[in-house]
Chains A and B, each alone.
Chain A
Amino acid sequence: MNKLLFLALSAACGTTWAQTPATNPMPDGSRDMYVGLGVQSAPRWDGTGSRKVSALPVLQVQWSNGLFISGMSAGMHLTDSPTFEYGPLVAVQPGRDRTGTGLEFDGVGSAGTTLIGPVPEPIDKRNLRGTGLDGMNKIGARLQGGVFANYYLTPQWRLTSSVLYGAGNDHDGARLDLGVQRLAFELGSQHRVSVSAGVSIVNRNYNQTYFGVSLEEAARSRFSSYEAGGGLQEAHVGVRWNWAVSPSWMLTSNLQAKGLLGNAAKSPLVERSTNMTVSTAFAYRF
């Protein structure tokens, strides 16, 4: 039953890798829905030491026909097998502007950071620009499409994978996520903890969009130009704690640590390769 009590409540901003909830068989015509709100502390963009606290919407809906929405992802379970899940997946990749990734709740007073790389005329640039991503091109939010496939080694251990395409300025960024999850340790009668770990592999177009710096951008920003190739982009581990306060109310909290790897880690946009995201939210189960 542990596996079946797992919930992958996802943030509507912050977590960038797609999550798929476990298959949820239910009566025909029914649905299982969580809606909530909380707070999140996350880096302003991947690789920065500057953090922001923002409101965190929570949404997870599963329908009896297999359709689901989980945070920024949506898809469909094409099988009701307890050991193998697969189906189409779409996910929204948050955009990025000069203040950082996704929605900006607290947009002023970002902390200063050290200049990185051989920036010409650093003093002038420092006077001209404060911090953040000033001078970098804005990246719009992107709808990605792909597939997911998960395999249960046991009812508690799940191998996860997904491939998504369509991120980046030219909609040609591709991303492969591979992971493993231990679903729902029971801690007390209404407390459940699940842990996960994984890696992400991206193509060159993806990395260049989010970690590259064009000559044009280098000329007007504090960053030196950088060509980011594809490959292993990040490794992450996470812990999720779900506290079912009542049949209808749940407190869901999440801690994610992410380490940038390869070309992404070498990017001048990256001030620190390891970052932490913490969130907690109340969700109501309809």
Chain B
Amino acid sequence: MRASRQLIAAFASLLAVVSTGAQAQAQAGEWVSYRDAYRAMVQFEKYGGPKNLLQSQLQVQSRDHAGLGEGAQLTLTGKATQLNLTLDALGRTVFPLQKAAYDENAALVLNRKGMPFVLRPQVTIAPRADGQYDAADLRTACAQALGFVRYVDASQRARQCAGVRFVFPKKEQAGARLRHADGGEQGLPVTSGAAFSGDPDEGFPVVTWRFATGPDKGQVITYNAPLAIVPIFE
């Protein structure tokens, strides 16, 4: 029993030392393991299904849903790695898949002290430079996104593509119009909402185009480049 007590005492001492180290780490900033993020983000790369109309990004969300604020930046930091990852207005960045960062067990650190955060993979439809989206392409892109979602989550197999959501920057004139196959055009209503379900900021200009009510042929033309084109599954 004496040996057991010594063992427990030694472990308690180690616990105290590591706890002190943890407090110092917390003061330096919140972090997420690069390896853990890599596991999530590399799935899109490994996915063998059609995905040419899609893009994958890493989104940072504050855990308390307070929003990240202006100037938020994620830094990939390790012994030999230092890479700043600028976040867009939706808190997203392109995730760098780096063997060197993986091997040195790097961390992703947010420049917001005391703000716990989570990372989420977000697969969206890639925006086009000309801002013109064929209805058929949007359906195909949504189907591609659904294919990927079903690949990573078996419980999503019953869901279907319902439409797409164009999310625009707040400070620009936002909107889109529908050009019918006969050349006629009609404006699409702009509402206010969140880019992704669960996002705390519900103030982005949003144009939602539903496949069930939209024509099979035609084009959606955006006035400005959207921040994101989000597939809608129901």
Within 8 Å of chain A (Cβ to Cβ): is B87? no
26 CB-based A-B contacts, threshold 8 Å? A1-B40, A25-B38, A27-B97, A29-B99, A32-B35, A39-B7, A39-B11, A53-B4, A55-B7, A80-B46, A82-B152, A83-B152, A83-B154, A105-B3, A154-B155, A188-B116, A189-B30, A245-B18, A245-B22, A246-B21, A246-B22, A247-B33, A247-B107, A251-B15, A282-B14, A285-B35
Instruction: Please pick, from A24, A27, A155, A189, the residue contacting B99 in the complex, using a CB distance under 8 A.
Output: A27
Within 8 Å of chain A (Cβ to Cβ): is B130? no
Within 8 Å of chain A (Cβ to Cβ): is B102? yes
8 Å CB interface, A87-136 against B: 105-106, 109
Q: How many residues of A contact B (CB 8 A)?
A: 43
CB distance from A126 to the nearest CB of B (A): 22
Q: Can you name the residue of chain B whose Cβ is closest to the Cβ of A1?
A: B40
CB–CB B22/A1 < 8 A: no
Give me the 9 closest cross-chain CB pairs, A-B, nearest first.
Answer: A27-B99, A189-B116, A53-B4, A4-B39, A247-B107, A245-B22, A154-B155, A82-B152, A83-B154
Q: Given A154-B153, A247-B33, A251-B18, does the pair A25, B39 have CB atoms closer than 8 Å?
A: yes
A-B pairs under 8 A by CB, number: 106
Chain A neighbourhood of B204, CB < 8 A: none
Chain B neighbourhood of A4, CB < 8 A: 36, 39-40
CB–CB B43/A25 < 8 A: yes
Of the four ranges (under 10, 10 to 19, 20 to 34, 35 or more), the interface on chain B belongs to 35 or more
Within 8 Å of chain B (Cβ to Cβ): is A152? yes
Chain B neighbourhood of A282, CB < 8 A: 14-15, 18
* Measured CA separation A189–B63 after assembly (Å): 8
Chain B neighbourhood of A53, CB < 8 A: 4, 7-8
Q: Which of B117-125, B133-141, B168-176 contacts A (4 or more CB under 8 A)?
A: B117-125
* Measured CA separation A39–B25 after assembly (Å): 25
CB distance from B82 to the nearest CB of A (A): 15
Give B residues with C-beta under 8 Å from A.
1, 3-4, 7-8, 11, 14-15, 18-19, 21-22, 25, 30-31, 33-40, 42-43, 46, 63, 97-99, 102-103, 105-107, 116-121, 151-155
* Max count, chain A CB within 10 A of own CB: residue among B34, B37, B99, B120: B99
CB distance from A38 to the nearest CB of B (A): 6
20 A-B pairs besides A1-B40, A27-B98, A83-B152 with CB distance below 8 A are A1-B119, A24-B39, A25-B39, A25-B42, A27-B38, A27-B103, A29-B99, A30-B102, A38-B11, A39-B8, A52-B4, A53-B7, A83-B151, A83-B153, A154-B155, A155-B153, A186-B118, A245-B25, A247-B34, A282-B18
Q: Can you name the residue of chain B whose Cβ is closest to the Cβ of A189?
A: B116
* Measured CA separation A10–B84 after assembly (Å): 36
CB distance from A39 to the nearest CB of B (A): 5
Within 8 Å of chain B (Cβ to Cβ): is A5? yes
Q: Can you name the residue of chain A whose Cβ is closest to the Cβ of B43?
A: A82
* Measured CA separation A25–B44 after assembly (Å): 11
Q: Can you name the residue of chain B whose Cβ is closest to the Cβ of A109?
A: B1
* Measured CA separation A105–B97 after assembly (Å): 44
Q: Can you name the residue of chain A whose Cβ is closest to the Cβ of B39?
A: A4
* Measured CA separation A82–B153 after assembly (Å): 8
Interface mask (A59-74 → B, CB under 8 Å = 1, otherwise 0): 0000000000000000
Within 8 Å of chain B (Cβ to Cβ): is A147? no
* Measured CA separation A137–B57 after assembly (Å): 60
Chain A neighbourhood of B18, CB < 8 A: 245, 249, 251, 282
* Measured CA separation A30–B101 after assembly (Å): 11
Within 8 Å of chain B (Cβ to Cβ): is A244? yes
* Measured CA separation A284–B34 after assembly (Å): 15
Chain A neighbourhood of B21, CB < 8 A: 245-246, 249
Instruction: Please pick, from A30, A186, A246, A285, the residue contacting B25 in the complex, using a CB distance under 8 A.
Output: A246
CB–CB A1/B154 < 8 A: no
Q: Can you name the residue of chain A whose Cβ is closest to the Cβ of B37?
A: A1
Chain B neighbourhood of A153, CB < 8 A: 154-155
Q: Can you name the residue of chain B whose Cβ is closest to the Cβ of A244?
A: B33
Within 8 Å of chain B (Cβ to Cβ): is A215? no
Q: Given A25-B39, A27-B97, A154-B155, does the pair A247, B102 have CB atoms closer than 8 Å?
A: no
